[in-house]
Amino acid sequence: MKCTPTDIPEVLIIEPKVFGDGRGFFFESFNARVFEEMTGVTAVFVQDNHSRSARNMLRGLHYQFRHAQGKLVRVTAGEVFDVAVDLRKGSLTFGRWVGATLSAENKRQMWVPPGFAHGFLVVSDVAEFLYKTTEYWHPEHERCIIWNDPELGINWPITDAPLLAAKDAAGFLLRDADCFE
């Protein structure tokens, strides 16, 4: 496996070693020992989630204000543009974002630590998105920052208005959001 820090060093891109031949391929999508040795992160994952979305669906930018979740995310079908936003007020990168293309083809994963908002835009006809979380879902603590907050200036690869869930369309601006100390 290969681990590469992004412009926000705590957010990591992980590329597995893929073994392929005429029959197909094999790779370890997660190994706790290798993950810890490679990243220095001692995460305990408690929940796996799987979503399927159509082209132009934008999910996010989600986070839990209490019971903050770390997420290890990947795509098993299709392609997405994946984004993490630093919501840690004391951080030198507070309010900054990083994005990466994750696809079934490139098999990349992104580690999004607790204290970050997370979202993705489906850029293929359909995408299946899987992610492990370090904390259970607590809907009463779930928050959302609006995808097009001008202060964030996320460069989504989009030409038309995205498809949004009602809760995502009602997201807050960063300046009005609950953030982490």
Q: What residues are labeled active site? A: 62, 131
Reference 144, options 73, 85, 61; nearest CA is 61
The C-alpha atoms of residue 137 and residue 29 are separated, in whole angstroms, by 22
Say which residues have a Cβ less than 8 Å from residue 37's Cβ, sequence separation at least 6. Answer: none
Sign of the C-alpha dihedral computed for residues 136, 52, 145 and 41 taken in this order = positive
Within 13 A of 76's CA, how many CA atoms are on the CB side? 11
Which parts of 41-180 are beta strand (E)?
Answer: 47-54, 58-64, 71-77, 79-86, 97-103, 109-112, 116-122, 126-133, 142-144
The single-letter code of the amino acid at 136 is: Y
